[in-house]
Structure 1
Amino acid sequence: MITALRKNEKMAGPRCSSRLRLMAFIAVSFSLFTSGTSTAQVPLLMWSQDGLPQLASPAAGHITSKEQLTAYLASVFGSRPHTVLLFLQDKLSKDDFTVFGGVFGNKQDSAFQNLEAALQSSSSSVTLPALEWSDSSAVLTLLQEKLGVSPVLVDADTLSHLTLNTSASNLLLINLPYCTGLDKKSCKEVLHDNDEIIGKVLSTMKDKNVPYTAIYTGLLPSRVILDTSESSQAAGRSLLQTAAPTINPPITFNNESGTPCILLWAKNLNVSLSRTTETVDLAAQTPRLTGSVCNDSNSLLVLNYPNFTLSFAMSQRKYPVSGRNWFTLDRVELLNGGLNASFRSRHIYAPAEYSYHCQSVSNFRDPLLELSSISLNTSEWRLNFVDFQIQGFSLATGNFSYASDCAGFFTPGIWMGLLTSLLMLYIFVYGLHMIMQLNTMDRFDDPKGPSISVPQSE
C-alpha cells in the first residue's frame, strides 16, 4: 500500500499539491476497491510514527476480511507496549472521502485537512478502503485482544491532563459523531469538526512526546449496501413484496440449573456522558454477564461492555391490597471510568408473572429514572432505552411473558375523544329536551267565528 502511494505521487506531476495527491489516491482507491460489491464495508486508515509492516496492495474489488485484519494487527502490535489512538466515528464510508474530501476541487474545501497532514507527516500509513463490516465493535474488540488492555474513553480536552504510562500498552478511544440529516452541508460541517478534534488530539500527543499508532474508522457504514444476490431472491413476481424484519433475541441470563431467569431486550441504548455520547446496539454486541444473580425474591442483571457497565436490580414481593406478587425495577446503575451513577425507577413495576415494556425509559423528558446520587461528575449523565422490555421472575420458558405496558389505557387522544363525545351528547340531549317541552295551543283563532279576546288587566 505504501509503495502504491509513492507510485501515485510520482504519476501526479509537479503541479499537483501533495495534499491533493494524497486525497485523490484515497478517493480513487476507495472507488476502485469497493465498486460492484454488495457487502457492507467501512474504510480504515492507519498511520504510525514507529513504522508499519508493509501491506500488499489489494486487487480491485477486494474486501478485507476480519481474519485478514486480525493477522495484520498481530504483525503490527508485537510484544512491546504500544499507544494506540482509535478515532471511532459513528458512521463512515468511502463516499465521505470522495464527496467531502475536496479531491476534484480546491484543497481548502476538504473536510479532512488535519487527517491528510497526519498521513503525510507519518513515517508510514496503511489504507484499507473496504473492510468487511460485521458488527459495530469488531475493530475495538480486536485491538483489546491484541493490546491486552481495556479502552479509555477520552476527548481532546481531557487528553491534555491524562498521564500516559509508556511502559505499558494504552488504548485511547475518541468517539466522533456523524451527521443525522440528509443535508450535505451539515455533513461536511460535522466531518470538519471531527477533523479539528483529530488535529487537536494529535497535537496533544506531539506535545507529550509519546509515540503512537492512530486508526480512523467507523462504527457503522454511513451508506449500507444490502446484499441482493440472486441466490437470496425468491423466484417469480415481487410486486409490493417486503422482507420480514429481523428480530434480535433478548439478552438472557440463566441460573445454575441452566434455566433462563432474566430477560432484557431493547432496540438500542443511548448513553450520554457529559459531552461524549455513545449509541450502543444491545443486539449487535454481546456483553459479559459477570456478576449477575437471580433467585425467587431478587434479581440482578449486570451488563459488562467495553466502555461501561450497566446493572439492573429487581425485586418482588406480595402486596396484600392486590393479593398478588409484583416485581419492581428498583435501580439502574451506570459505571464508567471509576464513576458510578445510580438511578432509581419511577412506576416501573408489573405483576410478577408478567414482563414490563415501555417505548422509552430515560432520566430526562418524562423521566422514569431519577438520578439518586447527584454529583458534579455524574449530574449530566443520561440514559435512554428505546423499546425497552425486561422480566426478572416467573420465566417458564425462554420467552417474555405477557407485557404490562407503561402506556395507560386513557391516553390524551382517548380523553379528547371522550370529552368531545360527551359534549356533543349533552348538546343533543339538551336540544331533544327543549323540543319535547314544546306544547301546542288548545284553542286556535277561527276567522269565521268570533275572535279570541284576551282580557287585559290593569
Structure 2
Amino acid sequence: MLNATSAQVITSADQFKSGSSIYIIAGEEWTSMEQLSEAIISKIDNSIGIITATDGVSHAKTNRVKRVATDEMDTASGSTSGGSATGNIPFPLILPPYNNTQFNIAPDNKQSCLFYLEGVSVVLQQRNDKTLAYASVLIPGTNLTYGYANGDVSCQNGTIGEFLFRLRLQLNTDVTGKQGNNPGFSIKSGERIDVSLNITGDLFGYWQLTGATANTLAVSGLGNFKSGSSAGQTIGEDGTRYSKINSVAGWALACGQTQAIFFPTEDPNVQIGVALVNTQIQTFNVQNVPAWLKAPHFTLQTEDCQGTFSAGSWMGIVSALVLIAGLLFGYVMLQSVQTMDRFDDPKQKQIVINVRE
C-alpha cells in the first residue's frame, strides 16, 4: 500500500495548489479523471503517474470517500432486492417518476437516466422433443399499472458504470397467450410482472443490457403448454446480448419492440420471455443543466433499435438487383448483335445454292 498521508487530494481542477510532492486525483468515473489528469499534469514540471485502486492508497480523504461509496452501494444493493412498492400508476411507465404527485422526486443534475415504456409482450417457450413451441401475448399499457420504490432506479454521474431499472407491473384484466389461434397460457388479473434490467456503460463509449432478474414472473399453461415460474431467476450477458438494448454513450435508444429476454423456470424445457414495447432508454445526457432541472427530458440524440434495412427489405433489394442485372445483360447482348458487312446485290447475278435432297 502507498502511504500518502501528506498528499493533496484533487477532485476538480480548481483544487490544485502548487508545492505538494504528491497529488492524488480521485474520482469514480474514468473519463472525468482522465480529463482532470491532463489538466493537472500540465501544471507540474516533472511527474510520475501511478494508476491504482482506492485500496492501494492510504490517505484520510480517500479512505472517507471509500466508506461513503461503500455505504451507497450497500444501500443500492439492498433496495434492489426489493422494498415495498407504492402507487398504482397508470401507463406509460416513466422511471424515475418525475412530476408525479404520488412521489416527491426532483431531478438531479448528477443523474440524467430515464426509462419510458408503453407495454410488454410475454412469450412462453417450450421444448417438445427436438422442436420449440411458442405462445405469446401483447399486453398494452391500457391493461397495466406500475409501482415504484426507492432503489428501483440507479444512475451514474457519467456514461461509465452500472445502471438499474426495475419494472414493477401489474395486470388489470386477464390475458391469454396464443400459438396461432390455440390458447397457450394465461396470466390472471392482479398478477405481477416484476423485472430488473441491468445496463452497463463501458470504457469504449457504448452501453448495453448485460443482465436481468425476474423478481416475479409466472404463467399458467393451457392446452399442450406447461405452467412455469421464473421468480428469482437471473440471467447474464449471454441471455441478453440479442435483446437489441444497446447504444452509444450519451445517446438514447428508442425501440418499437425489443427481442424477448428469456428467463429459465423450474422446468428446464420451459422458459418465459419478456419483450419491451414502445420503449425509450437513456443512461446519461445533460447538455443543458437548467433545462434538465426544470423539465427532465430525453436527448434528441436517439438511436432506433431497428436498422435502416430489415431482413425483408434486404430480400427485396437483392431480388430487384438480380432482376435488373439480368435485364441489363440481355439488353447488352442484343446491342452487341451486328449486321452482315456484305449484302446480296439485286442487280447482279443471283446467288444459287444447290441443295441436294
TM-score, normalization by structure 1: 0.37
Q: Which structure: greater helix fraction?
A: 1
Instruction: Decide which structure has greater strand share.
Output: 2
